[in-house]
């Protein structure tokens, strides 16, 4: 969540125009509009990277591989009612780190693995893409190799 620009409390009493917004000697002060809106977030001197998504005040990073790993300094543009021009700050730093797989979850076991000898239809078990899942989802290519070892003299089951 990106924070909005705010008025520094100490500046509310530094000029007659500002003091008029926050007078308390007449009861309730008329107040001044301190509303801000975030209107743009880009990488400093560039654009918003394709794997970043800004929705309202929330910046979501959707990086899928380590090619996007580095430190990003983001320029945040605030539109305000108290300034003539939008305010631009380098207020957000995103430190995107190398993704390290902590575990690999195995797929669920295939359904029926029994085959009757001389059955009318063969039993096909798809082992080409069983669906091992990386945790966290680092996006690395996973190379899988399957081997079977049947002990000599093992009965057919």
Residue 52: per-residue pLDDT: 93
Residue 130: per-residue pLDDT: 64
Residue 14: per-residue pLDDT: 62
The structural domains of the chain, with segments of one domain joined by +, span: 9-96
Q: What are the backbone dihedrals phi and psi of residue 116, each rounded to the nearest 5 degrees, phi first? A: -80, 135
pLDDT value at 79 more than 80: yes
pLDDT value at 157 more than 90: no
Residue 47: per-residue pLDDT: 92
Residue 29: per-residue pLDDT: 58
Query: Rounded CA gap, 54 and 1, in Å?
Result: 10
Residue 72: per-residue pLDDT: 93
Residue 89: per-residue pLDDT: 85
pLDDT tens digits along 81-133: 767 788 888 878 999 888 888 998 887 776 666 767 677 777 776 666 667 88
The number of helices, as runs of H, and strands, as runs of E, in the chain is: 1, 7
Query: Rounded CA gap, 139 and 133, in Å?
Result: 10
Residue 12: per-residue pLDDT: 66
> pTM of the prediction?
0.50
pLDDT tens digits along 22-77: 666 666 555 677 778 888 899 998 999 999 999 988 889 988 777 888 999 999 99
Query: Rounded CA gap, 143 and 127, in Å?
Result: 13
Residue 48: per-residue pLDDT: 92
């Amino acid at each position: 969540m990106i924070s909005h620009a705010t008025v520094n409390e100490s500046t509310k009493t530094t000029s007659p125009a500002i003091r008029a917004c926050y007078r308390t000697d007449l009861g309730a002060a008329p107040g001044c509009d301190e509303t801000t809106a975030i209107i743009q977030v880009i990488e400093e001197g560039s654009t918003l990277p394709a794997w970043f998504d800004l929705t309202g005040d929330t910046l979501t990073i959707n990086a899928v591989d380590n090619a996007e790993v580095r430190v990003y300094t983001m320029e945040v543009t605030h539109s305000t009612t108290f300034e003539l021009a939008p305010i631009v700050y380098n207020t957000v730093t995103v430190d995107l780190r190398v993704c390290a797989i902590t575990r690999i979850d195995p797929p669920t076991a295939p359904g029926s693995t029994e085959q009757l000898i001389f059955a009318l239809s063969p039993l096909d078990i798809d082992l080409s893409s069983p669906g091992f899942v990386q945790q966290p989802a680092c996006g690395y290519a996973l190379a899988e190799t399957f081997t079977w070892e049947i002990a000599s003299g093992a009965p057919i089951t």
